[in-house]
Amino acid sequence: MRLASRALWAAAGVAWRESFPLGGRDVARWFPGHMAKGLKKMQSSLKLVDCIIEVHDARIPLSGRNPLFQETLGLKPHVLVLNKMDLADLKEQQKIIQHLEGEGLKHVVFTSCVRDENVKQIIPMVTGLVGSSRRYHRGEVCERPPLFLLDTPGVLAPRIGSVEMGLKLALCGTVLDHLVGEETLADYLLYTLNRHQLFGYVQHYGLGGACDDITSVLKQVAVRLGKTQKVKVLTGTGDVNVIQPNYPAAARDFLRTFRSGLLGPVMLDRGVLQSPLVAEP
């Protein structure tokens, strides 16, 4: 279903929210305790490797990266793999690379493991950086030249820089939804899509038009998907069964649809990219 051009024009002219309410959210508790153990294990493993391959989400290329890797820059060869490029809006890819170069990252690869895009660029880049100095570890990934992979669990930084950074990490599935709140996440997603004028959700769910009120959107989504529930309401004449939208179920579907790419490619770090570049000292 295509969104009518009149509806698109009308949506583009709406004054969307300029900011998202971030107060009163305890971002510290979003860091799962078990990750601290994984972080310590990763730190000890860094001593054994010749090159670090850091994998991060291409939708947030500048947010939420573990500062542990920043400490290793200049000490060991480092390749940053920005995966899920098929889900990311990369119109400003060159600006992303410039920002990362400003942080000291010279070797960046955009990949999509699902579509097998650019994945084969990683091993030649690593072997070129490491040269003939290779240690042997479990997990051979290449015979010529012999290359072994020491995998580590994915971990968050112990301190998430800001609430908004935490929300972006959560949208990408890095933080468990229930720790943040599914409806809160859905609201932040709606805020982001509207601010970027990405109205694919209107087409996908067959809504009457774009909207900035998450309650209204989730209500329409729930009705469209048949995600409703009967609730007893006490009235003066007795109990009455009322059909209510299942807002949490609608929020989960909204998030799942975004994460699967059905709402189109998105760059969650667009605001960061608009900030001025800071040159290396």
281, part of any domain: no
46, part of any domain: yes
Domain boundary pick from 129, 159, 189: 159
Domain at 227, CATH number: 1.10.1580.10
> Is the Cβ–Cβ distance between 200 and 192 less than 8 Å?
no
CA–CA separation, 160 vs 156, rounded Å?
8
Domain count, the chain: 2
Cis bond before residue 158 (omega within 30° of 0): no
Does the pLDDT value for residue 144 go beyond 50? yes
**Three-state SS at 113:** coil
Domain at 78, CATH number: 3.40.50.300
Shared-domain flag, residues 84 and 41 = yes
Shared-domain flag, residues 132 and 39 = yes
AA identity, residue 135: R
Note down the domain range covering 184: 177-231+242-272
Residue 86 is labelled as binding a ligand: yes
Residue 13 is labelled as binding a ligand: no
194, part of any domain: yes
Residue 118 is labelled as binding a ligand: no
Chain CA centroid to CA 141, Å: 27
236, part of any domain: no
Structure confidence by residue, pLDDT tens digits, 18-35: 899 887 777 766 666 656
56, part of any domain: yes
Which residue's entry shows tokens 């300029």?
A: 18
Shared-domain flag, residues 41 and 141 = yes
Residue 85 is labelled as binding a ligand: yes
Distances (CA, A) of 15 to 53, 194, 200, 210: 42, 9, 18, 11
pTM of the model: 0.84
Shared-domain flag, residues 256 and 187 = yes
Structure confidence by residue, pLDDT tens digits, 70-116: 666 667 888 999 999 999 999 999 999 999 998 888 999 999 999 88
